[in-house]
Amino acid sequence: MDITILKSTIDNDQKSIAVTGSKSESNRLLLLKALYPGISIENLSNSDDSVLMQNALESKDEVIDIHHAGTAMRFLTAYFSIQENREVILTGSSRMKERPIQILVDALRQLGADINYLDKEGFPPLRISGKKLTNSKVILKANVSSQYISALLLIASKLDYGLELILDGKITSVPYIKMTLSLLNEIGIETEFKDNQITVQAQTSNLKPQTLTVESDWSSVSYFYSVVALSEVGTKLSLSSYKKDSLQGDSILSEVYKTFGVETNFEASTITLHKSTNANQKLSIHLDLSNAPDIAQTIAVTAFGLGIACDLTGLHTLKIKETDRLVALKTELEKFGADISITDTSLHLKSSKVIKSNISVATYNDHRMAMAFAPLALTTSIHIQNADVVSKSYPQFWEDFKAIGFNLK
Ligand SMILES: O=C(O)C1=C[C@@H](OP(=O)(O)O)[C@@H](O)[C@H](O)C1
Ligand SMILES: C=C(OP(=O)(O)O)C(=O)O
């Protein structure tokens, strides 16, 4: 399904959007619930990735296909490694077969896991023969993806002696690791994270029955920050359900978007985004996004839409996500007339006044490409190819987008 968004302005009467639960928190809690059935989850994400995660955990099949869901691939590799007497083939989309997993597989093998590559060494699909893992100490590279670390932490309390992780190199996407540890603590598992070492205590008894409520997804809200930033001064949008004290690293949006003239007001569980001032086009933005890689596309497009120069660094994980997001951003922004250059770890956008019209944006099976470019319809009509990719994280995105006043065809 392709979508054309006619040049739009968003309604003046303040709209409210209820975003569903964070897919990152949901996928962690789903795994923990499979290990500790006393857990109940509220405000679970309705994203494809969380539905795939839930189905995979409930499936009795031998072959499990998790499509494009990176966290599900990594977390389930760890999960099935400790399912004794069960053999599973874990596979995914053709892109998933290009997303590296060797660091995690090697770490699990250090613990004693039996995992084999069925195709290319270092990449899915995997044959996992579940067994009791007897070791408790692992050293792994920490600068490629935090998902490998979270995967190990999520199963750690089920190991006889718990887990001691030594993280080698600069740790990337740190808030996601802290999110995993916070959720473990919340359900009653003891952990410690000091310097480059993480320990998780074994949990020998059952945990008490408990209900955890997932905060709504901050990465999803980034597209609305962009909408407000590209709108007239005075524009307001309300979104729920959010916390000031979030586990999600992408909550730095409330700080980052101040530079684009957007203020965030927290009241109970609702945030209201308010375009309070016009961003100064002479401004240039410099951000290290190694702790919040998923909002890089949104920020680059907002800066382009406002004609603001932008240097984004810490983007070393972007090349191995749903697509090579650095190349995808450069290719698509150039169609609009952007002057942009990239390296393997950074993006540099020059300030420009011109935004070309009637561009067709390719989305490369990447939900965030579709959603990050959509707000540009505040400046010109645009066409989004394969717009249904949004369902990976935000199935009702286009309905919500229409509800705030965008004119979709
Ligand atoms: O643990 C998680 O839930 C995630 C970690 C991040 O991945 P990397 O650690 O690979 O950057 C992030 O990009 C992804 O969308 C979700
Ligand atoms: C990178 C992402 O997801 P994953 O790695 O879980 O596929 C994302 O949602 O932006």
> pLDDT, tens digit, for every residue of 197-232?
999 999 988 899 999 999 999 999 999 999 999 999
Residues 85 and 92: beta-carbon distance below 8 Å: no
Q: pLDDT per residue over 279-301, tens digit each?
A: 887 789 999 999 999 999 999 99
Which ligand is in closest contact with the Cα of 250?
A: 1
State percent of the chain over pLDDT 70. 100
- Whole-number pLDDT of residue 353: 86
- Whole-number pLDDT of residue 14: 80
- Whole-number pLDDT of residue 12: 74
Q: For residue 66, what pLDDT band results from cuts at 50, 70 and 90?
A: very high
Ligand 2 atom nearest to CA at 317 = 1
Instruction: Give the end of a domain, one of 183, 213, 243.
Output: 213
96 lines ligand 2 (CB under 6 A): no
Q: How far is the CA of 209 from the centre of ligand 2 (A)?
A: 30
Closest by CA position to 308, among listed 329, 336, 338: 338
Q: How far is the CA of 193 from the centre of ligand 1 (A)?
A: 18
Question: Could you give the count of Cα atoms lying within 13 Å of 319 in the half-sphere of its Cβ?
Answer: 10
- Whole-number pLDDT of residue 281: 76
Pocket test for ligand 2, best of 75, 322, 368, 394 (most atoms within 8 A of CB): 322
Closest by CA position to 145, among listed 66, 251, 71, 198: 71
Q: For residue 310, what pLDDT band results from cuts at 50, 70 and 90?
A: very high
Range of the domain at 237: 3-20+216-408
- Whole-number pLDDT of residue 163: 98
Phi-psi region of 386 (alpha: psi -120 to 50; beta: other; left: phi over 0): left
**CA-to-CA distance for 31 and 10, rounded, in angstroms?**
39
298 lines ligand 1 (CB under 6 A): no
Q: For residue 303, what pLDDT band results from cuts at 50, 70 and 90?
A: very high
- Whole-number pLDDT of residue 45: 98
Q: How far is the CA of 338 from the centre of ligand 2 (A)?
A: 26
Nearest CA to ligand 1 atom 10: 145
Question: Of how many residues is the chain composed?
Answer: 409
Nearest CA to ligand 1 atom 2: 24
In a shared domain, residues 201 and 341: no
Q: How far is the CA of 176 from the centre of ligand 1 (A)?
A: 7
In a shared domain, residues 199 and 286: no
Cross-strand partners of 200: 163, 191
In a shared domain, residues 58 and 207: yes
In a shared domain, residues 193 and 230: no
Pocket test for ligand 1, best of 24, 95, 394 (most atoms within 8 A of CB): 24
Mean per-residue pLDDT, 242-262: 97
The count of structural domains within the chain is 2
- Whole-number pLDDT of residue 266: 97
Catalytic residue numbers read 294
CATH number of domain containing 96 = 3.65.10.10
- Whole-number pLDDT of residue 363: 98
What φ, ψ does residue 331 adopt, rounded to 5°?
Answer: -60, -45
Q: How far is the CA of 297 from the centre of ligand 1 (A)?
A: 14
Q: For residue 330, what pLDDT band results from cuts at 50, 70 and 90?
A: very high
Instruction: Give the end of a domain, one of 164, 179, 213.
Output: 213
- List the single range of 18-22, 35-39, 172-176, 278-282 with lowest mean pLDDT: 278-282
**CA-to-CA distance for 43 and 62, rounded, in angstroms?**
30
In a shared domain, residues 31 and 180: yes
Ligand 2 atom nearest to CA at 23 = 9
393 lines ligand 2 (CB under 6 A): yes
Instruction: Give the end of a domain, one of 148, 183, 213.
Output: 213
In a shared domain, residues 233 and 114: no
Does 183 score more than 80 pLDDT? Answer: yes
Q: What is the ipTM of this complex?
A: 0.99
Q: Tell me which residue has tokens 């699909």.
A: 125
Q: How far is the CA of 131 from the centre of ligand 1 (A)?
A: 27
**CA-to-CA distance for 6 and 38, rounded, in angstroms?**
49
Mean per-residue pLDDT, 47-76: 98
Which ligand is in closest contact with the Cα of 27?
A: 1
Does 368 score more than 80 pLDDT? Answer: yes
In a shared domain, residues 117 and 197: yes
- Whole-number pLDDT of residue 221: 98
Mean per-residue pLDDT, 180-194: 98
Ligand 1 atom nearest to CA at 144 = 10
Print burial letters for 68-82: b (CB count within 10 Å at least 16), e (below 16): bbbbbbbbbbbbbbb
Does 62 score more than 80 pLDDT? Answer: yes
Mean per-residue pLDDT, 358-369: 97
Task: Read off the tokens for 270.
Answer: 């609702």
In a shared domain, residues 16 and 55: no
Amino acid identity of residue 31, one-letter, is L
Residue 343 CB burial class (10 angstroms; 0-12, 13-18, ≥19): exposed
- Whole-number pLDDT of residue 28: 99
250 lines ligand 2 (CB under 6 A): no
- Whole-number pLDDT of residue 283: 86
Question: Rounded mean pLDDT of the chain?
Answer: 97
Task: Read off the tokens for 218.
Answer: 């901050």
Does 19 score more than 80 pLDDT? Answer: yes
Task: Read off the tokens for 221.
Answer: 């809200």
In a shared domain, residues 202 and 329: no
In a shared domain, residues 199 and 245: no
Mean per-residue pLDDT, 146-160: 98
In a shared domain, residues 143 and 103: yes
294 lines ligand 1 (CB under 6 A): yes
In a shared domain, residues 297 and 365: yes
Does 108 score more than 80 pLDDT? Answer: yes
Residues 85 and 355: beta-carbon distance below 8 Å: no
Does 400 score more than 80 pLDDT? Answer: yes
**Binding-site residue positions for 3-phosphoshikimate:** 23-24, 28, 145-147, 173, 294, 321
